Amino acid sequence: MKFMHHFALAAFALAPSFALAQAAYPNKAVKIVVSTVPGPLDTFVRIIAEKLSTSLKQPFVIENKPGAGGNIAAQFVKDQPADGYTLLFAIDTTFTVNPPLYKNKLGFDPVKDFAAISVPVTYGQMLTVNPSVPANNVKELIALSKQKPLSYASGGNGSPSHLVGALFLATTGANMTHIPYKGTGQSVVDVIGGRVDMLFAVTSGVLPYVKDSRLRALAVSSAQRSPLAPDVPTVAELGYPGFDVSFAYALMAPAGTPNDIVQLLSREVQKAMASPDVQEKNRAADYAATNFDPMQSAGWLRDNRDKWIKVINDASISPE
């Protein structure tokens, strides 16, 4: 009986640590809901998910839920249990642009419904024109826009390329007509074909056309020059200090997710970003790593949301 008594006490003493071990995160598969169809965002998160799976020894499974600029995926994830087993990976515009763009139709609160885990990379856009446009730099383009009708293409109303273009016009005083397309692909085709004069687009997407002289690059929108095109100046360098338009990817969890899980995932993403193969893929895609922790990630999203609220309201931009 004495032996059984000591055994029971020992078992009782071990119970808390056993329970903690059982509850260690993650102890089953983690789902990452991606807000787009397969493409650059999807490619990036699959690379990171593979690193997380290896490091944390559980599957990180990707599920695509595209539509409404990321709103469908965000609405789905915000209603999931806040236990770290369902996460959202989206372009930052879901949290920075969509709130003022969709207003009461958003379906989620970007601050109250989500906890930021990581904004791992940012990326700018390149301003390109059709070679027939008689402007070899931004100053000449702005002057030309005040002398004759010019147009700029975008991937659609409220898309990143539209927003950069609207801010460019507001900042520089250039005068151009916006031509929205259903996606960036056709907008690039029509600028190459001379049907539209100019567009902003992701640098890695238009650089091949710049290299074969089907487009002319005049500037990049980010604060720093692109390593892929170091000879192309920033808009800020060309007389518009403070012009910095970068977009980003964001890994988010439902609000209320335990902070230790959020911090763990943030550290694991940073670890994945530091691996040489990921660094090389980021360089080729023109992604700039941030090393943001959860608080810095939330701050980046907040600051950019404040910026786009003004741009969208001033330019009367709507999703239609």
Cβ-proximal residues to 171 (8 Å cutoff; 6+ apart), any chain: 235, 240, 243
Same domain, 228 and 190: yes
| The total number of structural domains that make up the chain | 2
Same domain, 195 and 300: no
Q: What is the tens place of the pLDDT at every residue in 200-211?
A: 999 999 999 999
Among candidate residues 238, 269, 291, the one where a domain is terminated: 238
Same domain, 157 and 221: yes
Q: What is the mean pLDDT of the segment spanning 257-262?
A: 98
Among candidate residues 208, 238, 268, the one where a domain is terminated: 238
Q: What is the tens place of the pLDDT at every residue in 105-120?
A: 889 999 999 999 999 9
Cβ-proximal residues to 85 (8 Å cutoff; 6+ apart), any chain: 26, 28, 29, 30, 31
317: DSSP letter: -
Q: Would you say residue 13 lies in a domain?
A: no
Question: Long-range contacts made by residues 166-169, C-beta under 8 angstroms, separation at least 24?
Answer: 166/311, 166/315, 166/317, 167/243, 167/245, 167/311, 168/127, 168/200, 168/221, 168/235, 168/243, 169/315
Q: Would you say residue 271 lies in a domain?
A: yes
Q: What is the CATH number of the domain that holds 167?
A: 3.40.190.10
Please determine, for residue 7, whether its predicted confidence score (pLDDT) is greater than 80: no
Same domain, 133 and 75: no
Q: Is 237 exposed, middle or buried (0-12, 13-18, 19+ CB in 10 A)?
A: middle
Phi and psi dihedrals of 132, rounded to 5? -75, -15
Same domain, 222 and 185: yes
Supply 262's token pair: 């959020």
Q: What is the CATH number of the domain that holds 86?
A: 3.40.190.150
Round to whole Å and give the CA distance between 229 and 210. 10
Same domain, 74 and 129: no
The residue ranking higher by pLDDT, 185 or 320, is 185
181: left (phi over 0), alpha (psi -120 to 50) or beta: beta
Same domain, 156 and 179: yes
Q: What is the mean pLDDT of the segment spanning 137-142?
A: 97
SS3 assignment, position 132: coil
Residue 39 domain boundaries: 29-123+247-315
Please determine, for residue 3, whether its predicted confidence score (pLDDT) is greater than 60: no
Please determine, for residue 227, whether its predicted confidence score (pLDDT) is greater than 90: yes
Same domain, 279 and 132: no
Among candidate residues 181, 214, 238, the one where a domain is terminated: 238
pTM of the predicted model as reported, rounded to 2 decimal places: 0.86
- The pLDDT, as a whole number, for residue 94 is 95
213: left (phi over 0), alpha (psi -120 to 50) or beta: left
Strand partners, 91: 249
